[in-house]
Amino acid sequence: MTTFLDDGVRSRAGKCGASRLALWLCAALLLAVGAPEASGALLTSDETDIPDVGEPFDVKAFEAYSLPAGKNADSLYLLAQRSLVKLDHKRAAFARSEAAEKSARQAALLGWGEANDDVRKWLDANEKALGAWKSGTMWAEAIEVPLRELNFESDLPVSNDARTFVKLALAKASQLTHEEQTAEAWTWYRATLRASRHLGMRGGVVERMVGADVYRLARDPILNWAACTQVSAADLRQALDDIVAIDSMTAPLSRSLKVEYLGVRHSINLVLTNLRKEHPFVAVAIRQSGRPEQMMRVANLYFANWLANADRPRSQRRPRIDKEVGLFEPAPGSPRLPPPRVLKKLIAMQLSGLEPNMGVIKSPIVDYALPGMMFLFDTVDQDQVNRAAVITGLALQLYLRDHGRFPQAVSELVSARYLKILPRDPYGNGESIHYRLESKPPERAVVWSVGLGGISEAGELPAAKGDDRSTSDTVFEITAARQSPLSTK
């Protein structure tokens, strides 16, 4: 759970990722900074005309979903954690661990020859843990926290260690590719992508964001693997079939929002329980103030708005001009929204202890703030770009193996039956992902999305490549390798 995050906080949330409580504390801080005139203030009687829209979906039926441990991939992920050996990030060993982290990423991107001795030892030490984790990736479903129990204090151990396992798996794939065991290497890439879909399958904001980041980490290593000359057409055909199947595992955004809504409902009750234990008289005052009921009305209104837009194409969503309110213009048939001045009050509304002068007790144990979701829409759209790049990139490499050249037009991937349908550009207006065949040698193709700004720039490649990935977030170079692009040091 969190609130409206700027890019810097969103980035930090993506890196630390899996602590719901940490993100909630970020929310409380941002509310206090971003809306000081409203933070913690009770709405006055003339400002509480919050429409009672009721529950935004069938909560009882949705909450009833459960998954037995014997069918839950997270049970194996948790088993794998018991034997996981992490890099030592204590102060004395920080520099060495940081170097190993960078070396592991370089090994995943550029080849096993980039792996230093610490990475090689780290991978060997985690053979058992990786085996259990990989077994979990093959299961069909996963759920980290039972839906009836989810709240802002919920621990997310699987999400917390997801990136560690993925870094190890990508390093393992690089090692196997170096040893020319390309088919076996693919099974590790496949495991990372399946794990990424498990994370957001029945999770809320945090799990969905971590899952998207896991896919991003695997994206460029997979595109580089596909460009290796030792990777055969048979390898690519299997990989393409797997990736299309994995893509279908992606949960709709509406499901993630519903999971988060359950967390909101449960958290309001949890806050009141905490108050009764620590500030019993304040808890009575809170009940009498009507604040919990107000909070649920606000949650119902906001989630109804988000859910009405969740599964619509980006081009059909219309964010309100005033970005502070974090909502879309009402879709046909969806609830009306209060006036802007009231909406600005609502984004800073908190449920917390009250001082005698009706001020707010700033205590992370009892504070609660309504989450914001607009950044999640952007995260899911970018995840769709990454998925489109991997699917299209592998199809192009397979076409190259079969025909000795890239197609003149991306539509040939469908007419030649490499793909049933071309992936869409979520930032466009319904068109497929964009494609250009470069005329200058070496032969290469460019796949791109128009991106957040909606301007294609003709798929212009970045002048300099980042230090942790081989392409930008929206433009992807697919090369016809004359020799393996992976280091063979």
pLDDT tens figures, 209-239: 999 999 999 999 999 999 999 999 999 999 9
| Structure token digits, residue 55 | 């529950």
pLDDT of the residue at 218: 97
CA angle centred on 440, ends 436 and 441, rounded to 5°: 115
* Cross-strand bridge partners of residue 437: 445
Tally of CB atoms within 10 A around 455: 9
3-state DSSP call for residue 405?
Answer: coil
Please tell me the number of Cα atoms within 13 Å of 349 on its side-chain side.
28
CA distance linking residue 368 with residue 148, whole number of Å: 19
Tally of CB atoms within 10 A around 25: 16
Q: What CA dihedral angle connects 322, 324, 326 and 332, to 10 degrees?
A: -20
CA distance linking residue 75 with residue 72, whole number of Å: 6
**Mean pLDDT of each 10-residue bin along the chain, 489 residues long:** 32 45 41 33 49 92 94 96 86 78 92 94 96 97 95 91 96 96 98 97 94 96 95 97 98 96 89 79 76 86 92 92 85 80 71 48 51 86 96 97 94 97 94 89 86 74 53 81 50
Asked if 23 and 345 count as a contact pair (C-beta separation under 8 A), the reply is no
Task: Name the nearest CA neighbour of 147 among 236, 263, 232.
Answer: 263
CA distance linking residue 307 with residue 295, whole number of Å: 18
Q: Give pTM, 2 decimals.
A: 0.87
CA distance linking residue 83 with residue 216, whole number of Å: 26
pLDDT of the residue at 25: 40
pLDDT of the residue at 280: 79
DSSP string of 473-489, one letter each residue: SSEEEEE--SS-SS---
pLDDT of the residue at 104: 93
pLDDT of the residue at 50: 77
